[in-house]
Structure 1
Amino acid sequence: MSTRFPIRFDWKDLELILALAETGSIAAAAERNHLVPSAVSKRLSDLEKQFGAALVERHARGVRLTPAGEALRSRAGHLLDQARHVQDELHDYASGMTGHVRLFANISAIVEFLPRALVAFRELYPGIRVELQEQVSADVAQAVQAGVADLGIVSELPHLPALTFTPFRQDELQLVVPAGHPLATRTHLAFIEALDYPLVGLHANSTLHERLTREAARVGHDLRPLVQVTSFDAVCAMVAAGLGVGVVPRGATTPYVQSLGLVGLTLTDHWAQRQLCLCTRAGETGSPAAQKLFAHLRQTSDV
């Protein structure tokens, strides 16, 4: 049985550790946290005595975190995020809300499937606030695993045994090209055939960009988009302007494709048919509000 020690540090201590890591200076950390440098030094000294380990090393240009300090820093951001989430939830309850759910999802789910689902959920449960954040699938899964998100929606399934994945929706990728483009007369093609033309892509951290980069590398091609943007409608606009071709979800972009006069081509690659999944922590039911949202999304799914 492990020995538990009383907790003798507070949120301000964690904020100071983050500030020291980012600025490398006691004076700068003090200014950021509206303290005098001597108060920062005193807090730091008290922490080191409590933990029995040095947290910073002093050098001519300032300070750097020790391995123990880095360990504390790696946890500090998550703990502060959790504290802010708790504060937000309690404020919601104080204002008359009956629940709070943190939902993280990739851009495909947010654009294509969640608007109607969340409007319907709000009508059913007006007292539950859904806090929605866009993240790439890998970050969604990590947030759910860490407890930062109550529920996630992903299109790529990471190997995390602490999570459970439940089928949610089917998501089909297509290639969009301008009318008059050499490929515009085609109806089906493999992604490799599009690599001969300039590509308009999403930002480098997106799940779709990572997928296309992997598939291009698999056939010996170095994927270098001519233009990278942050949304599917922007991809379509850039394609319509003649800057290249793009890969986008069919359901999320059909209105843009039609209004801009683009041609959508079916990709024959197996990965173009994507399965979106609800992501939860294995063995945990979640809060009553999270359970209601999970059940609602399952009921509105097409699988």
Structure 2
Amino acid sequence: MSTRFPIRFDWKDLELILALAETGSIAGAAERNHMVASAVSKRLSDLEQQFGAALVERHARGVRLTPAGEALRARAGHLLDEAHRLQGELRDYASGVTGHVRLFTNISAIVEFLPRALAAFHQIYPGIRVELQEQVSADVAEAVRAGVADLGIVSELPHMPDLAFTPFRQDELQLVVPAGHPLATREQLCFSEALGYPLVGLHTNSTLHGRLTREAAQAGHELRPLVQVTSFDAVCAMVAAGLGVGVVPRGATTPYVQSLGLIGLTLNDDWAQRQLCLCTRANAVGSPAMQMLFAHLRGTSEAAT
């Protein structure tokens, strides 16, 4: 059993640590927090005495955080964000909202599947507010694991023993090329056949970039995108501009493909059929509101099959 010590600091102390890190001075932190410099110094001294460690080093131009101060700063931002979220959720309850769910998901699910599903959920449960945030799949899983997100939607992640994955929807990837491209007359092909042409890709941290990198390596190529962007619509725009070919989800990009006059080609690779999954903490029950949203999304998934 871990030993619990009484907490003798408050939110203002955490705000001061962040202000000291950002301004680099006692006076700057005092001004930002509408305090006098002597009050900031007193709070800082009290904190250092409680922790038994120096939090700042003073120098000619102001102050800098010590390793202990940096550790506190790193946690302070997260704690304050959580406190603000909690405050907002409690105010929601006061105004008649009966639940709050933080749903993190990749862009494919947001564009293809969630608009109708969430609209229907709101009709059934108007008192539950869903806070939706877009992240790459790896970050979604980490947010669920850390409790920052209540529920997530991800694609192709390795097994994680502390998370549970429930099939949600299938997501088909396609290759998009501009009209007149040498591949434009093809209806279907393997991704390896496109590796001889310039590629427009997503940013390095995206799940899809990782998949394409692995597939290129297996085909004896190094994936070196000519351009890397942060969204699928941007991929389509760059392809339309003649900067290369791109791999995008069919359902999420059909409007862009059609409006830009691009050609969508079927990829014969098995991995082009991606499984999107609902992601939750393993063996965690979750709030009633989260359970309702999970059941609703799972139900819409089963209805679509």
The two structures share one fold, judged by TM-score above 0.5: yes
Q: 1:19 to 1:196 in 2, by over 3 A?
A: farther
| 1:86 alignment partner, SS class | helix
How many Å apart are 1:158 and its aligned residue?
Answer: 4.6
Alpha carbons 1:202, 1:228 under 8 Å: kept: yes
2:123 paired residue number: 123
Rounded to whole Å, the distance in 2 between the matches of 1:50 and 1:245 is 59
Q: Deviations over 1:205-228 (max 9, x none)?
A: 433233333433554544343333
Pair 1:177 & 2:197 matched? no
1:160 maps to amino acid: M
Counterpart residue number, 1:97? 97
Q: How does 1:131-142 map to 2 (within 5 A)?
A: 131-142=131-142
- 2:50 is matched with 50
Q: Could you tell me how far apart the structure 2 residues matched to 1:213 and 1:22 are?
A: 38
SS in 1 for 2:29: helix
Contact 1:138–1:158 (8 Å) recurs in 2: no
Shift of 1:23: 3.8
Q: Sort the Cα spacing of 1:121 and 1:200 in 2 relative to 1 into closer, same or farther, 3 A.
A: same
Specify whether residues 259 and 2 from structure 1 end up closer, same or farther in structure 2 by C-alpha distance, changes over 3 A only. Answer: closer
Report the counterpart of residue 73 of structure 1 in structure 2: 73
Distance in 2 (CA, whole Å) between partners of 1:215 and 1:32 is 51
From the superposition, tell whether residues 193 and 25 of structure 1 become closer, same or farther in structure 2 (CA, over 3 Å): farther
Please say if residues 233 and 253 of structure 1, whose CA atoms lie closer than 8 Å, have aligned partners that are also in contact. Answer: yes
Tell me which moved more, 216-225 or 13-22. 216-225
Task: Verify: 1:213 aligned to 2:213, yes or no.
Answer: yes
Given the superposition, is the C-alpha separation of residues 226 and 154 from structure 1 closer, same or farther in structure 2, using an over 3 Å criterion? Answer: same
Asked whether 1:155 is paired with 2:161, we answer: no
Ranges in structure 2 where 5+ consecutive residues have no aligned partner: none
* 1:114 positional shift: 0.7
TM-score normalized with structure 1 length: 0.91
Give the 3-state SS of the residue equivalent to 2:7 in structure 1. Answer: coil
C-alpha spacing 1:239/1:281, structure 2 compared with 1 (3 Å): same
CA distance in 2, matches of 1:65, 1:182: 58
Partner of 2:187: 187
1:218–1:47 CA distance, 2 compared to 1 (3 A)? farther
CA RMSD of aligned residues (A): 2.1
Superposed CA deviations along residues 81-116 of structure 1, whole A, max 9, x for unmatched, are 211111111111111111111100011111111111
Report what 1:252 is aligned to: 252
Q: Are 1:32 and 2:32 counterparts?
A: yes
Q: Distance in 1 between matches of 2:210 and 2:290?
A: 30
- Over the matched positions of the two proteins, sequence identity in percent amounts to 86
| Partner Cα distance (1:213, 1:16) in 2 | 44
3-state secondary structure, aligned to 2:263: strand
Contact 1:141–1:158 under 8 Å retained in 2: no
Q: 1:24 to 1:208 in 2, by over 3 A?
A: farther
Deviations along 1:226-280, one digit per CA (max 9) or x if unpaired, are: 3333332232232223222111001112232233322111223332221111111
TM-score (norm 2): 0.91
Higher alpha-carbon deviation: 248-257 or 197-206: 197-206
Instruction: List runs of 5+ in structure 1 lacking aligned partners.
Output: none
Q: 1:265/1:119 Cα in 2 relative to 1: closer, same or farther (>3 Å)?
A: same
